[in-house]
Homo-oligomer: A and B are copies of this chain.
Amino acid sequence: MAKKKTPKLHLHIPVPAARPGDTPTFDHIPLSPAGQVLRPKIDTQEEQLRNFPYELIRVLDDAGQAVGPWVPKVSADFLRAGLRSMLKTRVFENRMFAAHRQGKTSFFIKSTGEEAISVAQSMALESDDMCFPTYRFSGWLIARDYPVIDMINQIFSNEKDPLKGRQLPTLYSARDYGFYSLSGNVGSRFGHAVGWAMASAYKNDHRIALGLIGEGTTAEGDFHEALTFASVYKAPVILAVTNNQWAISSFSGIAGAEQATFAAKALAYGIPGLRVDGNDFLAITAATRWAAERARNNLGPTLIEFVTYRASGHSTSDDPTKYRPADEAQHWPLGDPIERLKTHLIFQNEWSEEQHTKMEEELSASIRATQKEGEAVGTLGNSKPSVSEMFEGVFKEPDWRVIEQRREFGI
């Protein structure tokens, strides 16, 4: 063929709207006004749902009012419990973060600004459902009254660490609380949620699974494989992307956000994709309930993108001001989830600033006391489980190698 003249190609590398020193902006993030998005029936055909990934389901408006078809049926007690768990999560995480600075642990990771997702989902699902969390999901455990002391002992890797010193701090496992074992690898448990849900369906059980993944991690093959299996076998699972705008130092554009919303990935699998205000406790509750109802009624999986913002650094290992404007959080258009639920409750005359301050003080005191309790057992390096734990649990029964090596080690 004759060669036509075409322009020179060039390679596109996405860059975020603002770097340190720039003025932050989130104008590129499409928002919908609170209350605007319709709430379809759970058995609506996928064909009718194809616009949802491009909208944003919001319930709480700027005044703190709950508006529109997605307002969930919840009691004030329920909301106060949610508020309390979010606040407890924040207080707990802030203390542990500080404990890291004091050398009491090797590592810590916070979910600041994202507490609504873990807490609301924990409360929206049943106690025997199973959640396959990310490392930014301690709110799930807190909402279910998992003993904070056990988390602290794990974080301090001390003698009472429920994971026996084998795991990096924050990589909890809590089967009885519907919280699957975490690992340092991101993404590789997303498909476990699907397998677990398929098993439940196979056994004609009623339990469903929830899988979580960060927006950055949606780029892993695991994401696609999980969604493919979920879709093909109509697994009773909710698959959720927590889009907090950042991977470690990479903005969501490096994961494809310049081209599509993360909810739009549902379209590839012919399943509903909801895009939900991740800082809106009520919207999260409503969307999770909707997806759970679908799952429980054999209508298959739902993908939910929660639009939120990672208000802190990625972990104790990074300084976010090195790669984004220090004041970026203040420009985030969807506010803070705790503030928003608090405003709503106050607006409803179900809460007050005084009560809030009191609760905060009470939670601070309680977490402080629990931390002391953990410190009394020991912090990193000055207390640990029996070293024999290193050799346990490789297999159900130890084989000769670890038996010999224990001997070689002298225990």
Q: Does A348 contact B (CB under 8 A)?
A: no
Chain B: CB-nearest residue to A225 = B221
A219 to chain B: which residues have CB within 8 Å?
224-225, 228
Least distance between A369 CB and chain B CB atoms (Å): 29
Instruction: Known A221-B220, A256-B270, A259-B46; judge A236-B201 contact (CB<8 A).
Output: no
Copies in the complex: 2
Bound Cα distance from A104 to B219, whole angstroms: 45
User: Which residues of A from 105 to 135 have beta carbons under 8 Å from B?
Assistant: 123, 126-127
- Say which residue of B11, B218, B270, B298 sits within 8 Å of A10 (CB atoms): B298
What residues of B have a CB within 8 angstroms of the CB of A254 in the complex?
A: 232
Nearest-Cβ distance from residue A250 to partner chain B, whole angstroms = 10
A232 touches B256 (CB 8 A): yes
Known interface pairs A221-B221, A224-B224. Does A206 touch B236 (Cβ–Cβ under 8 Å)? no
Fill in one digit per residue for A329-358: 1 if any B CB lies within 8 Å of its CB, else 0: 000000000000000000000000000000
Is the CB–CB distance between A204 and B298 below 8 Å?
Answer: no
Q: A198 interface residue, CB < 8 Å from B?
A: yes
Q: Majority SS of interface residues in chain A?
A: loop
Number of interface residues of A (CB under 8 A): 59
- Of A261-269, A383-391, A394-402, the one contacting chain B is A261-269
Taking A221-B225, A224-B224 as contacts, is the C-beta distance between A269 and B260 under 8 angstroms? Answer: yes
Asked if residues A6 and B220 are in contact (CB atoms below 8 Å), the reply is no
Interface residues of A in 262-309 (CB under 8 A from B): 264-271, 296-298, 300
Contact check, B10 vs A204: say whether CB atoms are below 8 A apart: yes
CB distance from A309 to the nearest CB of B (A): 21
CB contact under 8 A between A222 and B221, given known A254-B232, A264-B270, A267-B260: yes
By the criterion CB–CB under 8 Å, are B256 and A9 in contact? no
Residues of the B chain whose Cβ atoms lie less than 8 Å from the Cβ of A126: 1, 3
A residues 217-259 touching B (CB-CB < 8 Å): 218-225, 228, 231-234, 236, 253-256, 258-259
A200 within 8 A of B: yes
**Complex: chain B residue closest to A236, CB-CB:** B9
Distance A1 CA – B77 CA, assembled complex (angstroms)? 12
Please, how many angstroms separate the alpha-carbon atoms of A10 and B266 in the complex?
A: 22
Is A80 in contact with chain B by the CB < 8 A criterion? no
A125 smallest CB distance to B (angstroms): 8
**Interface flag for A411 (CB, 8 Å):** no
B267 and A255 contact, CB distance less than 8 A: no
Q: Does A63 touch B at the CB level, under 8 Å?
A: no
Q: A268 — which chain B residues lie within 8 A by C-beta?
A: 260, 264-268
- In the complex formed, the residue of B with least CB distance to A300 is B12
Q: Does A205 contact B (CB under 8 A)?
A: yes
Asked if A21 lies at the interface with its beta carbon under 8 angstroms from chain B, I say: no
User: A255: which B residues are within 8 A, CB to CB?
Assistant: 228, 232
How far apart are the CA atoms of A231 and B219 in the complex, in Å? 11
Within 8 A of B (CB), among A1-37: 1, 3, 6-14
Say whether A50 faces chain B, with CB atoms less than 8 Å apart.
Answer: yes
Smallest CB-CB A-B distances: 7 pairs = A221-B221, A259-B270, A224-B224, A260-B270, A268-B268, A267-B267, A6-B296
Q: A1-B127, A6-B206, A14-B233 are in contact. List 20 more A-B contacts (CB 8 A).
A: A6-B296, A7-B296, A7-B298, A9-B204, A9-B206, A9-B208, A9-B236, A13-B233, A46-B259, A46-B260, A219-B225, A220-B221, A224-B224, A224-B225, A228-B255, A231-B259, A259-B271, A260-B267, A260-B270, A264-B268
- Please list 26 pairs of residues, one from A and one from B, whose beta carbons are closer than 8 Å in the complex, sorted by A's number: A1-B127, A6-B206, A7-B206, A7-B298, A8-B205, A9-B200, A9-B201, A9-B205, A9-B207, A9-B236, A10-B201, A11-B198, A11-B233, A12-B234, A46-B259, A46-B260, A228-B255, A231-B256, A231-B259, A232-B255, A258-B270, A259-B270, A259-B271, A260-B268, A265-B268, A267-B268
